[in-house]
Structures are given as structure tokens and as C-alpha cells.
Amino acid sequence: MSNCRFLYHNDVILEAPPVTTFLESQTGAYTTTRTINNGTSFLFWERHMKRLSSSIRILLNSKPDLLFSSGSSPRFWMNQPVPYSNIYDLVNGSMSEALKSVVVKESKRSYEEELAVTVLVTGNVEKLNSLDDGNNCDEERKVLDFLDVWLHIGYSPFPLSVGENAASLALVGRGRNVAAAKYSDWVRLRKPLEKFRPLSTTELLLSNDGDHLLEGCITNFFVVFRRVKSSENLYGGSLNEFEVQTAPITDGVLPGVIRDIVIEVCLSKGIPCRERAPSWSDHELWEEAFITSRYF
């Protein structure tokens, strides 16, 4: 497998550090996905772009310091729309040019490898301050004029696999601030939690009260909850005997792309699914638990 990583920004291709190091060095909203079918398309690309647009809007309107560089005090527009279509076009323009430069010129990539892509959108204070507030230009256009796109592109083995059937989880900390947005500062903020990670632990879970489990540091968390005790079920097991539970967005969790897909699949298959934070106090009624993200 090739170990090459590239960073694309403002029409320039550079060798890149590991993606975690890159995200720690920048402030902004981001999303991560991978290619499928030998690099011909991206996994759930439109869903990632919609969530990226949502993250930008949330940060712009409530926590601009998480979108712009640290220490800046930018002027911004409260409740400013950030249309998905505009972000889609902005990112796709950069992606198209980056893939021409990276994929066509890079000869080390084999048919067994896919690309892992992280899209980071940052606020550019200099561009923002250069805008003329007194003109009548399109407000939606203004937003795009002060956003910068960074693309971190590397190689990922195909197919994805965790290599084992079970994950080991540990509860280590409280839930995130501005959890509905995916932002790069969380990569830095979660690092202190790592000192509490037991050996051989797959993922670290978050909870505000030590009982109701919200999500993992990089995953969403689900349980299959037994609604009817086995002794009460006289007619054998059925789908209605169980329900899938995961914390609602309003409790402070990231609206993960795979999270949404799990919920949609449950609903389409007639599997009861409830957005409720799983309670450790009820863990004896858990039939199983699982985590989801691009990595699992």
C-alpha cells in the first residue's frame, strides 16, 4: 500500500502530514470519506457535503472561533444561510483539480487501494475583512468569498475492515460542545482523554451523567435493547421484541452519516428504532451494542 499523502490548497499540491496532525494545525469544519469502485466515486458524498454545509452554518452563527483561526474576531452575519449547493460546488471545484494532480500523476496507487479524503473548510479572516459591507452583493456569495477549502488525500486499503468482530469500549469523558457540527478543534480537545484509554480499547465513549451514553470520540453508539424479557415472550423471538437505541442529536451528538443510514435501514426493514441515549443502568437488557463511523 502506498504511504503517500497529499495536501491541496489554492491550486498547490504539497506532501501532507498524517490527517490528525493536519486537522490539529487548522481551524474549521470538516468531513472525511473515501472512494469506492477503484476511485471512481465517493462513499455517501452528497450526505457528507450536506453535513459539511450544516457544520459551517452552525459554527458561523454560534461559534465562529471554531471556523476562523484562533484569536481572530471576525465580522460575520448571524443566521446567514449556507446553501448546500454552494458548498457542493465550492468543494467539487477544488476536488476536481486535486484529483487531476494527485491521481493522474501518482503512479504508486494500485487497483487494491482507494483514496481517503478529508475536506476541511476554514474561514479566512483577511478575505472576510476585505468585503465591503455597504455593497449590495449577494449575501450567500459573501459567505463563499471568505471560505477556504483544504483537501487531505491519502491511500486506504480496500476493502475496509476492522479485522475482528468485537470492539472494546471505555467511558472516559463528557459530551462535546457544539456536537452537531464536525470541527477540527475536537481533534485537539479529545487528546487529553487518551490518557484514560485502557489497553486494547477500540473507542472512548462520552456521557454527561455517567449513565446515558452519547457517542464515541469518533463514532456514534448504538445498542439493541430487549423490550420484552425472554420469559414473557411465549411465542418466540420477533423484531418487535427489540429496538435499536442511539442518543438523539438534541442530547449533543454528531449527526454521523453512517448513523443516519443505520436509522434509515431500521425504519425500512420494520426494525423499531428510538433516538434515546442508551442507559448503562439498563445494560442487562442490551442484546448487543455497536459503533459506527467511516472507520468501523
Write out pLDDT tens, residues 206-235.
999 999 999 999 999 999 999 865 555 444
The three-class DSSP label of residue 191 is: helix
Question: pTM value?
Answer: 0.87
pLDDT in tens, 95-106: 998 988 766 555
Q: What DSSP designation does 150 have?
A: E
Q: Which of the residues in the chain have pLDDT under 50?
A: 1, 107, 134, 136, 158-162, 233-235
pLDDT of residue 126: 78
pLDDT of residue 70: 55
CB 278 within 8 A of CB 291: no
pLDDT of residue 227: 85
CB 48 within 8 A of CB 33: yes
Which of 193, 180, 295, 150 has its CA nearest to residue 249?
180
Q: Are strands 6-9 and 203-206 parallel, antiparallel or unpaired?
A: unpaired
Which of 200, 218, 294 has its CA nearest to residue 254?
218
pLDDT of residue 2: 53
pLDDT of residue 80: 65
pLDDT of residue 3: 62
pLDDT of residue 235: 46
276 phi and psi angles, rounded to 5 deg? -145, 130
- What is the distance between the alpha carbons of residues 88 and 93, in angstroms, rounded to a whole number? 8
* Domains of the chain (ranges, CATH numbers): 5-155 (3.30.470), 169-229+241-292 (3.20.10.10)
pLDDT of residue 229: 58
- Cis check for the bond before 278: say yes or no (omega within 30 of 0): no
